A = this chain, B = another copy of it.
């Protein structure tokens, strides 16, 4: 019975995470211009089927091919032991190499459930760069990226943290806390998405007119702010599945703490951004409040199971400040053009959330996590090694994901070209790249 309940829980959570794709589509399309609305919407739409297929064929096997069954999901957990196959010793496990196209697990409920759950997680990461590269990305280059992300880039890092790879083994092998701990994906999903978005934005360059020759910066307004706000609600809704589903088990009463912490961090993130901008610029900027909520959600994702409500609220407050600062800094200092703030929300707050585990995990949960005895504790609760393991994971993500993504985008630039022609960009991608029109008025 517990297996049935857990399987149902994982299914419902998967559906909620899949629904987040709609939220991304709305936030990103709302924050871009009407002439590119079909293009932005289409990238967010197509990344879902594209990612599902890429992950089915290859990605799942790399990410989870080395995992030997999920005991919470099947009465006969042991029977799955033979399926696992991992390249490299656990000491330095690098990737899984089985279960491709689900052939060997075609009728195994735990693997099919984990495939779906993992696929929609991957798609969450994969859809982040569509925001940062919006309004100028050639659709064929985007499709190539979608396959690269779902088949290789995401699965590799996911393997290291969740598939039994080397980052998860930092505790067992080197005594660094419980190894790299990322409960629901601040690093695996959000940093990966945000760091890839940064690499892509650097390679593709800013939109025409964004950075003027005189050094001033053009504000390019989105065409539908209500759509972006509505999308934020959709994301905050689906995020409950994202975080609370990551127990893989409703028989784990910690789901209550996870959900409450998720709501609290989203709330303090939103309010911090709102009041900070209100104070500084004398207007309640709801777009920034949305980014603050998303930043709070991204940040609490790694630590949601390990911290007390007050700590969750603090994680959100800091995320709300960080996202506000990072949106500005990326633009004014790094001269990176990110139309929707994806790098700030997912990259920066993802890094912060990853570190937060190493600070605020209070020893109330995580007994035996990653094969290490005792609950997870951050530096403030007695285990500085945990903070080190978090830092190693975050730095690895920043270096490895960025490097591989940068290389990929540069290669694509040579082979296909990442960017539409200047006249297509000026005229709007909907008409010239997509052959469609978002809105007609009669």
Binding site for B on A (CB under 8 A): 1-5, 7-12, 14-16, 18-19, 21-22, 25-26, 29, 33-35, 37-38, 41-42, 45-46, 48-50, 52-53, 56, 74, 101-103, 106-107, 109-110, 112-113, 115-116, 119, 139, 221-227, 229-230, 232-234, 236-237, 240-241, 244, 250-251, 253-257, 259-260, 263-264, 266-271, 274, 281-287, 289-290, 293, 308-310, 313, 364, 433-442
Copies, count: 3
Residues of chain B within 8 A (CB-CB) of A221 are 437, 440
In order of increasing CB-CB distance, the 7 nearest A-B pairs are A283-B435, A49-B267, A8-B250, A113-B256, A109-B253, A52-B267, A42-B286
Instruction: Give the complex CA separation of A101 and B268 in angstroms.
Output: 13
CB distance from A58 to the nearest CB of B (A): 14
User: Could you tell me if B8 and A285 are in contact, using CB atoms closer than 8 angstroms?
Assistant: no
Q: A15-B16, A116-B260 are in contact. Are A293 and B49 (CB under 8 A)?
A: yes
CB distance from A358 to the nearest CB of B (A): 20
Instruction: Give the complex CA separation of A117 and B262 in angstroms.
Output: 13
Instruction: Give the complex CA separation of A112 and B26 in angstroms.
Output: 31
Residues of chain B within 8 A (CB-CB) of A290 are 45
User: Could you tell me if B38 and A286 are in contact, using CB atoms closer than 8 angstroms?
Assistant: yes
Instruction: Give the complex CA separation of A229 and B28 in angstroms.
Output: 14
User: Could you tell me if B5 and A4 are in contact, using CB atoms closer than 8 angstroms?
Assistant: yes
Residues of chain B within 8 A (CB-CB) of A102 are 260, 309-310
In addition to A19-B233, A48-B267, 14 A-B residue pairs with Cβ atoms within 8 Å of each other are A1-B251, A8-B8, A19-B237, A35-B442, A37-B225, A45-B286, A45-B289, A48-B233, A49-B289, A52-B266, A102-B260, A102-B310, A113-B260, A281-B435
* Residue in B50, B237, B255, B274 whose beta carbon sits within 8 Å of that of A22 in the complex: B237
Residues of chain B within 8 A (CB-CB) of A5 are 1, 4-5, 8, 250
User: Could you tell me if B309 and A253 are in contact, using CB atoms closer than 8 angstroms?
Assistant: no
* Residue in B18, B112, B436 whose beta carbon sits within 8 Å of that of A225 in the complex: B436
* Residue in B106, B283, B310 whose beta carbon sits within 8 Å of that of A106 in the complex: B310
Residues of chain B within 8 A (CB-CB) of A222 are 440
Residues of chain B within 8 A (CB-CB) of A282 are 435
User: Could you tell me if B255 and A8 are in contact, using CB atoms closer than 8 angstroms?
Assistant: yes
Give the most central of A22, A281, A282: most B CB within 10 Å: A22
Instruction: Give the complex CA separation of A282 and B37 in angstroms.
Output: 19
Instruction: Give the complex CA separation of A269 and B436 in angstroms.
Output: 20
Give the most central of A50, A240, A244: most B CB within 10 Å: A240
Residues of chain B within 8 A (CB-CB) of A42 are 229, 284, 286, 289
Q: A1-B2, A103-B310, A223-B440 are in contact. Are A234 and B7 (CB under 8 A)?
A: no
Closest to A227 in B: B226
Residues of chain B within 8 A (CB-CB) of A287 are 436
User: Could you tell me if B225 and A107 are in contact, using CB atoms closer than 8 angstroms?
Assistant: no
Residues of chain B within 8 A (CB-CB) of A250 are 4-5, 7-8, 11
Closest to A116 in B: B260
Residues of chain B within 8 A (CB-CB) of A119 are 263
Instruction: Give the complex CA separation of A1 and B26 in angstroms.
Output: 39
User: Could you tell me if A439 and B225 are in contact, using CB atoms closer than 8 angstroms?
Assistant: yes
Residues of chain B within 8 A (CB-CB) of A269 are 49
CB distance from A290 to the nearest CB of B (A): 7
User: Could you tell me if A139 and B284 are in contact, using CB atoms closer than 8 angstroms?
Assistant: yes
User: Could you tell me if B267 and A226 are in contact, using CB atoms closer than 8 angstroms?
Assistant: no
Closest to A52 in B: B267
